[in-house]
């Protein structure tokens, strides 16, 4: 079905991006995504109508792997997913990635299959576009967490009126390397949403500010936060240490180096856009000093 839909190539956009031709990359990705959203109804493989008017939390999982059963994060969160006010949206990011969805919660999942891998940020935006909940909860597909952790992450957002809440990330394996932004300590406090694959967002604000930049696969949370901070206070972005996900930042030093190089490219792109990460850092440092939470 969706395989017959021809898209302007996202690979062309990433080629421009990796070459530093950021304006051309933006033009190419815009053309690609115009076709995606024009054809969104054709990508729906399972549209579950259960509790269509009562959804508060939309859990969004994106994967380029084959099928929902390949997602480790689906194990252990079934009690949360089956709540009457929660929906699971699975976005298969690439041709065949959503075929044969099975495993935990597959019977209630809303499944969308994209004919091309459009990157994690753009695919998460697709999930947000079709979501029904007031809270968008993004989860990495290759991580593990629990129902209580998701309940705390979403609950903190809703109960405190936050714009975004990120959790704490612990290593998944003994050999796995961690990122310096994964664990910010034991206190609930303001912090930029730099763990996009374990974060909750206010749906209305996410939509108003255009969601994640589709060219970014790193720093997309910082970018969106910076765009929002002109109108919002840093106190509305929180770190919830009680909500924990297990995920390895990198498997070895070579993979860590590759990630660092990608983030350096993302930094150059943010500078091209006029995004000032230092401004974000200063805003959160001032709020934390004031003991606002």
How far apart CA 180 and CA 183 sit, in angstroms, is 7
If you ran DSSP here, which 8-state letter would residue 134 be given? Answer: S
Q: Is 256 strand, coil or helix?
A: helix
Dist. CA 191–CA 184, nearest whole Å: 9
pLDDT of the residue at 254: 78
CA–CA distance, 123 with 97 (Å, rounded to integer): 12
Helix (H, G, I), strand (E, B) or coil at 170: strand
The partner residues of 244 in beta bridges, in order of sequence, read: 168
What span, in angstroms and rounded, lies between the C-alpha atoms of 6 and 66? 20
State residue 170 phi and psi, 5-degree precision.
-110, 155
Cα–Cα distance, 19 to 205 (Å, whole number): 32
Spell out the SS3 assignment of 258-282: HHHHHHHHHHHHHHHHCCCHHHHHH
Q: What is the helix (H) or strand (E) element at residue 148, kind and residue range?
A: helix 147-160
Which residue stretches of the chain have pLDDT < 50? Answer: 1-4, 6, 293
**Order of strands, edge to edge, in the sheet holding 189-190?**
44-46, 110-114, 86-93, 57-63, 135-140, 198-202, 164-170, 237-246, 189-190
Q: Are 245 and 167 in contact (CB under 8 A)?
A: yes
| Strand intervals (E) in the chain | 44-46, 57-63, 86-93, 110-114, 135-140, 164-170, 189-190, 198-202, 237-246
- The pLDDT mean for the chain works out to 87
DSSP label at 161?
T
Q: Give residue-wise pLDDT tens across range 169-205.
A: 998 876 555 667 889 999 999 999 999 999 999 999 9
The pTM for the full model equals 0.91
What tens digit of pLDDT does each residue of 135-182 get? 999 999 888 899 999 999 999 999 999 999 999 999 887 655 566 788
Between the CA of residue 195 and those of 94, 222, 279, what are the distances in Å? 23, 9, 19
**pLDDT given for residue 8 in this prediction:** 60
pLDDT for 38: 93
Sign of CA dihedral 132, 134, 135, 136: positive
For residue 68, the model assigns a pLDDT of: 56
Given a contact cutoff of 8 angstroms between Cβ atoms, the answer to whether 62 and 120 are in contact is yes
């Amino acid at each position: 079905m969706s395989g017959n839909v021809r898209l302007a190539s996202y690979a062309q956009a990433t080629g421009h991006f990796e070459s530093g031709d950021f304006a051309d990359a933006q033009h190419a990705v815009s053309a690609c995504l115009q076709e995606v959203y024009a054809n969104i109804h054709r990508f729906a493989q399972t549209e579950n109508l259960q509790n269509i008017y009562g959804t508060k939390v939309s859990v969004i999982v994106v994967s380029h792997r084959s099928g929902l059963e390949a997602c480790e994060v689906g194990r252990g969160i079934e009690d949360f997913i089956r709540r009457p006010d929660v929906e699971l949206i699975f976005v298969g990011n690439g041709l065949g990635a959503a075929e044969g969805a099975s495993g935990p919660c597959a019977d209630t999942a809303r499944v969308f299959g994209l004919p091309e891998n459009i990157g994690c940020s753009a695919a998460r935006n697709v999930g947000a576009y079709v979501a029904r909940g007031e809270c968008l909860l993004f989860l990495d597909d290759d991580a593990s967490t629990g129902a209580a952790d998701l309940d705390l992450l979403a609950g903190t957002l809703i109960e405190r009126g936050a714009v975004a809440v990120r959790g704490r990330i612990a290593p998944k394996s003994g050999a796995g390397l961690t990122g310096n932004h994964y664990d910010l300590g034991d206190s609930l406090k303001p912090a930029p949403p730099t763990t996009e694959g374990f974060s909750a967002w206010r749906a209305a604000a996410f939509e108003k500010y255009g969601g994640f930049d589709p060219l970014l696969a790193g720093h997309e949370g910082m970018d969106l936060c910076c765009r929002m901070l002109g109108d919002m206070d840093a106190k509305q972005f929180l770190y919830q240490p009680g909500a924990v996900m297990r995920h390895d930042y990198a498997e070895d030093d070579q993979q860590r180096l590759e990630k660092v190089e990608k983030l350096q490219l993302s930094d150059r792109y943010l500078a091209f856009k006029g995004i000032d990460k230092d401004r974000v850092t200063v805003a959160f440092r001032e709020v934390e000093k004031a003991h606002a939470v």
